[in-house]
Amino acid sequence: MAMIENRRKRNLTAMTLVAPFVIVFAVFFFYPTIRMVQLSFTNAPLIGAGEWVGLDNYIRLASDRLFKTSVWNNAYFILLTVAPTTMIALAIALMINRLKGGMQAFVMVLFFLPYVLPVSVVTQIWAWMLDFQYGVLQPVLAALTGKPVAVFKDPDWVMPVIAAITIWWTTGFNVLLFIAGLRNVPAELYEASALDGASQFQQFTRVTWPLIWPVTALVLTLQLILQLKIFDQIYLLSGGGPFNSSYVLLMQVYREAFQLNHGGYSSAIATVLFVLIAVVSVLQFQLLRIGRSRQ
Amino acid sequence: MNTRRLESAIVTGFTIIVALIWVFPLYWALVTSLRSENRVVSRPGLLPDEFNIGNYADALFNTQLLTWYVNSVGTAVIVTVVVILISMMCAYALSQINFPGRRLLYLVVLASFMIPSQALVVTQFILMDQFRLINTWGGIILPQLIVPVTIIVYKQFFDSVPREMREAAVLDGGGDYAILFKLFLPLNWGITTALAIVTFIGVWNAFFWPFLVITSEDMMTIPVGITQVNDAFGLAYARLMSVALLAALPVVLAYLIFQRRVTEAVMISSGVKG
């Protein structure tokens, strides 16, 4: 009897312990998710009720040229950032990993520092460095192209430049992950391969690379998810322009909802983005599980 | 042997040069912030030549920076404390109590990992409007309270606390709350500070949600507010860089002081180090 009493009491305690998470999750995540899908089948404005319109919003999406542009730009941005930041981070991690003690910590701080900055600080610093008239980088651009470039007003330059700024901002995070991965490679493996006469390049391709592949996969998928959600830097630096050449999905969600007052249509775009990210996240989760079970 | 050493020195030198180029934007922001506006637009050299702290005074007293500081510190501290508490409690139950629905809840936590909150902003905004929380701290705070990864990390750490320690505490008549706060929390103080610091940095830097839920200038947080300075004063780069550096100062300091904790938290939360 006392056992049952005790068990009940513990279950009750457990409920109070998990209640805050469950409530916050239900109200601010689960409910908004359901509402988003619901709204995507209506013509509701941002605030207020709408009518059920079935699949109209999705049908409209299929022929929305701005939506196509956004999807394409999102893909372009991913192409410009995901693989490059992964390779740059790996290269930096390899360079840092061979340093020792205080020097290693110091260099690590220099590479990680940009990552802790708020996005608007990052964009303001770079907007200043790339200022058309007075930017410290304009002489460099002039040397490369023959004349100064208004990078955020040029359809060809805007995406690569924002991608480069994003890489500068976030690479430190990926460097940390690679360093953790490199530390897990047993030193004996290097010694053994050195005795076998392997060159440094062979050591990298035969020893390091296979062992840090799980970290590489993690970095690639984390970046992919992150860059699917790109908004802040683009909004702050180019506002999606010029001529929509840096317009992306989340920006369309924002404009449709908050500037054009199309809650329903905006929700349809958000739902597409949601599904896209969820699919990639599930893939990532599976990938990591495979990676871990191998270790 | 000597060529090996030379090679090594060259690679080290190269690494340092790349690192210095990497922080150049921060250096340049600092140098600019210490110059007068006239000097800034006169194509000056790369080395610091003026030490004019007037821009900082200007930034602090002629913009709403101090108000935004208060909003940022207030919301970031509240979110951090609440996130740590919620996560710790939930993780403790998941790790130590065999209650009905435990497996389902764990699946929910894992699934919430995959929910992109950015896609939910429209309906979260509508919800906040219904709660009358637009332009309030509550509006900034509430949707930021779910950080599933802290639950997962805590659960991992709580799982590795020896069974005997808990059983001894139960025999001493301690309830679960007492065990959590008097035994598990002190045992996991290291990871708690690490998680708290990265949560704080993350919330301080949050842009998209505060940008949507706040429209009135005196309720803005730092990252949103500083974009207004630009609009209000046109291009005054020395002042702008002072504002930017002051905005970044708290997180930069938090990182520099707790550098090893931040590194640890990043590695552990991404699962590359257990």
Q: Give me B54's structure tokens.
A: 């007037």
From B212's Cα to the closest Cα of chain A, the distance in A is: 8
d(CA B258, CA A264): 45
d(CA A75, CA A82): 10
Which residue among A29, A31, A108 places its CB closest to the CB of B112?
A29
Which positions in chain A touch B86 (Cβ < 8 Å)? 20-21, 24
At residue B227, the 3 state secondary structure works out as helix
Distances (CA, A) of B83 to A115, B104, B118: 22, 21, 19
At residue A42, the 3 state secondary structure works out as strand
Which residue among B114, B120, B240 places its CB closest to the CB of A36?
B120
Per DSSP, which regions of B172-260 are E strands?
A: none
Q: Do A28 and B240 touch (CB under 8 A)?
A: no
At residue A190, the 3 state secondary structure works out as helix
- What's B24-87 look like in SS3? HHHHHHHHHHCCCHHHHCCCCCCCCCCCCCHHHHHHHHHCCHHHHHHHHHHHHHHHHHHHHHHH
When pLDDT is averaged across residues A176-202 and rounded to a whole number, the result is 85
What percentage of chain A carries pLDDT values higher than 70? Answer: 96
208-237 in chain A: CB under 8 A from chain B: 215, 218, 222, 225, 228-229, 231-232, 236
Supply the pLDDT for residue A198. 80
Chain A nearest-CA residue for B84: A21
Instruction: Inform me whether the pLDDT recorded for B15 exceeds 90.
Output: yes
Instruction: Work out whether the CA dihedral B105, A250, B142, A177 comes out positive or negative.
Output: positive
H or E segment and range at residue B231: helix B222-233
Supply the pLDDT for residue B231. 62
From A155's Cα to the closest Cα of chain B, the distance in A is: 23
Instruction: Inform me whether the pLDDT recorded for A40 exceeds 60.
Output: yes
Per-residue confidence band for A241, with pLDDT thresholds at 50, 70 and 90: confident
Per-residue confidence band for B116, with pLDDT thresholds at 50, 70 and 90: confident
From A72's Cα to the closest Cα of chain B, the distance in A is: 18
Cβ neighbours of residue A261 closer than 8 Å, sequence gap 6 or more: A45, A46
Instruction: Inform me whether the pLDDT recorded for B236 exceeds 80.
Output: yes
Q: Do A111 and B22 touch (CB under 8 A)?
A: yes
Taking only the tens place, the pLDDT of each residue in A220-233 is 988 998 999 999 99
Which positions in chain A touch B226 (Cβ < 8 Å)? 118, 120-121, 124
Which residue among A32, A126, A257 places its CB closest to the CB of B25?
A126
Q: What angle do CA A279, A281, A284 make, to 5 degrees?
A: 115
Supply the pLDDT for residue A162. 97
Per-residue confidence band for A158, with pLDDT thresholds at 50, 70 and 90: very high
Position A51: which residue type?
Answer: E
Q: Do B122 and A134 touch (CB under 8 A)?
A: no
Distances (CA, A) of A144 to A147, A153, A294, B6, B170: 8, 18, 47, 33, 71
Supply the pLDDT for residue A293. 55
Q: Do B12 and A99 touch (CB under 8 A)?
A: yes
Ordered alpha helix ranges (H), A26-157: 31-39, 56-62, 65-97, 101-112, 119-129, 138-145
Supply the pLDDT for residue B229. 81
Distances (CA, A) of A103 to A107, B19, B252: 6, 12, 19
The pTM (predicted TM-score) of the whole model is 0.93
Per-residue confidence band for A290, with pLDDT thresholds at 50, 70 and 90: low
Q: Do A168 and B25 touch (CB under 8 A)?
A: yes
Top-confidence residue, B42 or A120: A120
Which positions in chain B touch A267 (Cβ < 8 Å)? 122-123
**Residue of B10, B15, B245 to mutate when probing chain A, most A C-beta within 10 A:** B15
B48 and B113 Cβ atoms separated by less than 8 Å:
no
- CA nearest neighbour of B22 among A81, A169, A106: A169
B36 and B241 Cβ atoms separated by less than 8 Å:
no
Taking only the tens place, the pLDDT of each residue in A125-142 is 999 999 998 899 999 999
Q: What integer best gives the mean pLDDT of chain B?
A: 91
Q: Give me A244's structure tokens.
A: 């929509």
Which positions in chain A touch B116 (Cβ < 8 Å)? 225, 228-229, 273-274, 277-278, 281
From A156's Cα to the closest Cα of chain B, the distance in A is: 23
Top-confidence residue, B231 or B121: B121
Per-residue confidence band for B230, with pLDDT thresholds at 50, 70 and 90: low
What's A94's DSSP letter? H
Which positions in chain A touch B134 (Cβ < 8 Å)? none
Instruction: Inform me whether the pLDDT recorded for A295 exceeds 70.
Output: no
Chain A nearest-CA residue for B89: A17
Tokens 């919800």 map to which residue? Answer: B127
The reply to whether A79 touches chain B by the CB within 8 Å rule is no
B161 and B180 Cβ atoms separated by less than 8 Å:
no
Taking only the tens place, the pLDDT of each residue in B164-192 is 888 888 888 778 899 999 899 999 999 99
Which residue among B92, B122, B251 places its CB closest to the CB of A270?
B122
Which residue among B15, B143, B224 places its CB closest to the CB of A96?
B15
Q: Do A33 and B267 touch (CB under 8 A)?
A: no
d(CA A265, CA A39): 8
A175 and B272 Cβ atoms separated by less than 8 Å:
no
Distances (CA, A) of B64 to A147, A254, B160, B206, B222: 38, 26, 48, 19, 9
d(CA A180, CA B267): 7
Q: How many CB pairs under 8 A join A and B?
A: 264
Look at A189-193, A284-288, B114-118 and tell me which has the smallest mean pLDDT: A284-288
Which residue among A33, A120, A288 places its CB closest to the CB of B271?
A288
B195 and B79 Cβ atoms separated by less than 8 Å:
no
d(CA A138, CA A61): 40
Per-residue confidence band for B234, with pLDDT thresholds at 50, 70 and 90: low
Taking only the tens place, the pLDDT of each residue in A41-51 is 999 999 888 88
- Phi-psi region at A54: left, alpha or beta (left = phi > 0; alpha = psi -120 to 50): left
**Residue of B3, B90, B123, B226 to mutate when probing chain A, most A C-beta within 10 A:** B123
Supply the pLDDT for residue B50. 84
Bridge partners, residue A52, by sequence: A42
Taking only the tens place, the pLDDT of each residue in A64-104 is 999 999 999 999 999 999 999 999 999 999 999 989 888 99
Regarding an ipTM greater than 0.85, the answer is yes
A11 and B96 Cβ atoms separated by less than 8 Å:
no
